[in-house]
Amino acid sequence: MAINRRLITDDDFQEAMDRQVGVRVFENDHIVDTGVVITRFTDSFIVTQSGVSDVTYHSRSSCEFFEIRKR
């Protein structure tokens, strides 16, 4: 069973990026990305990557981000 931890602060995003943990992204109460890794973040955007050429920019204000931890 997976445990989800919401990422809110810059420190949360930095820790998830440093540890390269899987992240689940929600927008308008729908999953738009899952199992992606945060590669970079700013005040406006979170950049995630799921493959070599699959990079996605998510709006920080309109999306919710959750770290996926497995027990």
What global pTM score does this model have? 0.89
Mean pLDDT of the 12-33 span: 96
pLDDT at 23 over 80: yes
User: For a pLDDT cut of 90, what percent of the chain falls above it?
Assistant: 86
> Do 66 and 6 meet the contact criterion of CB atoms below 8 Å apart?
yes
